[in-house]
Structure 1
Amino acid sequence: MIRAATRDDLSRLKRIREWLPEPTPRLLETALTGLGFVFVSTAEGRPVGYVLMLISDDAYIAELVVDSAHRREGRATELLKTAIETAEKRGCDHVSLTVHEENEAAQALYESLGFELWRTESDYYADGGTALVFGKKY
């Protein structure tokens, strides 16, 4: 099940966030105050994954993570679809995101949902890795 996150989910989401190689400090907490959109995927009533999206004129997927015990269940796909639908309803004409050049599984997921490679950004990640910037226009 996908639903909007609440402040009550924060402690669980912080644990899930530990699976991200480079989470943005305090972004999750800030987004939950209403400055972003956070949707969770639940199992047995508790969050097991989330997507965090920021919207101004356009939408940016800042974080997407699923607990390792619940990967390969279609949760990331459903979270992304929910974020894309929300962005479209909010009047955005595109959604973008960045992914490490070595994360081939994530790249395949994004491409399966109609995202295209827009550009690359060298030395984007702490390990010196290149970011691939993907986008999806409506």
Structure 2
Amino acid sequence: MTDVIRAAEPRDLPSIRALQTCLPEPASDLFTDLPPGVTLVSEADGLVVGYIHAFTGEPAYATELAVAPANRREGRGKRLFQSLFVHLRRAGCQAVTLTVQPENEGARDLYEELGFVVEERLPGYFEDGGDALRMRRPL
């Protein structure tokens, strides 16, 4: 099995949109086209099975990470983030933030392993009224 992480291209949009359905609250209008910032995809045998997107700026903001259920627990999320960090540093970013549901322990464990720390709790952040944790990592 080949495992490739590369910059997303317009031809990847259908696959990215399909992967968005794995997220509890996807940004529905994020991928009408490739958004500004950095979008990377993870391929397995030529098929897009994961993606990550971040807006550049200070700090950068990682908006979405999704991996197909059949390809989870293979280290793809971690490798996508590690590649994202390289791209963000090249873009001049000094730090990256993200938001996560407090009860999403699997995601939080990954983020903490990657060096993110909780910066603050955001009450009522999500559309369903749920709180979020903002996490930050220096680059």
Q: TM-score scaled to structure 2, two decimals? A: 0.93
Does the CA contact (< 8 Å) of 1:37 and 1:52 recur in 2?
Answer: yes
Q: Which residue of 2 aligns with 1:60?
A: 61
Which residue is equivalent to 1:99? 100
Residue identity matched to 2:11 = D
| 1:115 shift after superposition | 0.6
Alignment of 1:30-49 (within 5 A): 30=33, 32=34, 35-49=36-50
Matches within 5 A, 1:1-138: 1-30=4-33, 32=34, 35-138=36-139
DSSP 3-state at the match of 1:61: strand
What is the alpha-carbon distance in structure 1 between the residues aligned to residue 32 and residue 83 of structure 2?
20
Amino acid at match of 1:39: L
Structure 1 ranges of 4+ moved more than 2 A: none
Native 8 Å contact 1:64 1:76 kept in 2? yes
| Structure 2 alignment gaps of length 5 or more | none
TM-score normalised per structure 1: 0.94
> Whole-Å Cα distance in 1 between the matches of residues 41 and 5 of structure 2?
6
Partners of 1:93 and 1:112 in 2: how far apart? 19
For residue 78 of structure 1, give the secondary structure of its aligned residue in structure 2.
helix
SS at match of 2:84: helix
**Larger proportion of helix:** 1
Aligned counterparts of 1:97 and 1:28: Cα–Cα separation in 2: 18
CA RMSD of aligned residues (A): 1.1
Query: In the alignment, residue 27 of structure 1 is paired with which amino acid?
Result: L
DSSP-derived class of the 2:128 partner: coil
Q: Please, which runs of 5 or more residues in structure 1 have no aligned partner? A: none
Identity %, equivalent residues: 40
Please tell me whether the aligned partners of residues 58 and 95 of structure 2 are also in contact (alpha carbons under 8 angstroms).
no
